[in-house]
């Protein structure tokens, strides 16, 4: 009975769409309501797919940037350590490098 | 019950689509609604173009991701060298 | 509404890209 109801519903939908397409055939300028309805749901699912694709990329990007920042900090600390041990006076950070370090923070 | 619920959702969705399509049935006749229809058509074109841009932007993001990973890797190599020096 | 959502996500993605490019340049400068 359920299967019959399901196929009846499918047939009603099909007949309705045929009627609309017959009354309002798609033209170059205008599309019939059924076509528009289908296109609307198509762009909705396309948006959801793209959004689902974007999210992991954005979080991966954040994670890599924080890893870079941590490693950069460790490296700079280690270089200062080296300076102390070897009494080698490396050139201090230029203004530009200082600004950039601040930016990275 | 879950099977029955799934069936109910399926049937309700079909009934909902039929209701939507029924409401569209007269749409083409009333001129005012015809303009609404055309407006929706234009909007769909605009949104599709935006989605194309978004798709390109996401591809660009993936490239940026791989260069960030390369940078991270070479930085970690540098750190190992400095650590070794130390 | 869908159009606004797409616009918002597009702006967000563009902003993230710009920020990451700046981040890469800054890091490369410090690595020299």
What pLDDT does residue A20 have? 84
| pLDDT tens track for B4-56 | 888 888 889 899 888 888 887 776 567 777 788 888 888 899 999 999 999 99
Q: How confident is the model at residue A28 (pLDDT cuts 50, 70, 90)?
A: low
Q: Return the minimum-mean-pLDDT range out of A14-18, A34-38, C28-32.
A: C28-32
Contacts of A68 in chain B (CB under 8 A): 68, 71-72, 75
User: Which of the other chains make 3 or more beta carbon contacts under 8 angstroms with chain A?
Assistant: B, C
Nearest by CB to residue C3, choosing from B43, B60, B67, is B43
**C1 CB near a chain A CB, below 8 Å?**
no
List CB contacts of A21: < 8 A, sequence separation 6 or more: A32, A34, A35
pLDDT(A49) > 90 = yes
Is residue B44 within 8 angstroms of chain C, CB to CB? Answer: no
**With contacts defined as CB-CB under 8 Å, which chain C residues touch A47?**
2, 5-6, 9
**Is a pLDDT exceeding 90 seen at residue A52?**
yes
Residues of chain C with Cβ-Cβ distance to B57 below 8 Å are 10, 13-14, 17
Task: Select the highest-mean-pLDDT range: A83-87, A92-96, C24-28.
Answer: C24-28
Nearest residue to C16 (alpha-carbon basis) of A45, A52, A56? A56
CA dihedral of B38, B44, B45, B47, whole degrees rounded to 10: 150
Residue with the bigger pLDDT between A104 and A4: it is: A4
pLDDT for A45: 92
Which chains would you list as touching C if contact means 3+ CB atom pairs under 8 Å?
Answer: A, B
C9, C21, C31: residue with CB nearest B78: C31
Q: Does the pLDDT at position C1 exceed 90?
A: no
Judged by CB atoms closer than 8 Å, whether chains meet at C13 and B61 is answered as: yes
Query: What ipTM was estimated for this complex?
Result: 0.74
Q: Is B72 on the interface with A (CB under 8 A)?
A: yes
Residues of C in contact with A70 (CB under 8 A): none
Q: Return the residue matching tokens 């940026």.
A: B64
Give the model's pLDDT for residue A29: 66
Q: Residues A8-14: contacts with CB within 8 Å, 24+ apart?
A: A9/B11, A9/B14, A9/B15, A9/B18, A10/B14, A12/B18, A13/B14, A13/B17, A13/B18, A13/B21
pLDDT score, position C4: 86
pLDDT at A89: 67
**Six-digit token pair at B80?**
């190992």
Q: What percent of chain A has pLDDT over 90?
A: 29
Contact A80, A89 (CB under 8 A): no
> Which of C6, C16, C23 is opposite residue B54, by nearest beta carbon?
C6
């Amino acid at each position: 009975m359920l299967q019959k109801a399901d196929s009846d519903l499918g047939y009603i939908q099909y007949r309705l769409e045929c009627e609309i397409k017959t009354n309002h055939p798609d033209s170059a300028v205008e599309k019939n309501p059924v076509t528009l309805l289908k296109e609307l749901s198509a762009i909705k699912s396309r948006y959801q797919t793209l959004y689902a694709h974007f999210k992991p990329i954005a979080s991966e990007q954040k994670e890599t940037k924080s890893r870079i920042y941590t490693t950069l900090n460790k490296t700079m600390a280690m270089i200062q350590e080296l300076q102390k041990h070897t009494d080698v006076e490396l050139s201090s950070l230029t203004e530009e490098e200082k600004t950039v370090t601040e930016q990275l923070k | 019950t879950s099977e029955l619920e799934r069936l109910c959702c399926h049937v309700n969705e079909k009934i909902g689509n039929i209701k939507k399509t029924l409401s569209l049935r007269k749409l083409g006749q009333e001129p005012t609604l015809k303009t609404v229809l055309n407006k929706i058509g234009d909007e769909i074109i605009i949104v599709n173009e935006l989605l194309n841009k978004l798709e390109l932007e996401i591809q660009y993001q993936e490239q940026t991701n791989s260069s960030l990973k390369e940078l991270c890797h070479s930085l970690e190599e540098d750190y190992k060298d400095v650590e070794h020096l130390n | 509404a869908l159009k606004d959502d797409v616009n918002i996500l597009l702006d967000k993605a563009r902003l993230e890209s710009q920020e990451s490019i700046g981040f890469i340049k800054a890091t490369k400068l410090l690595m020299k």
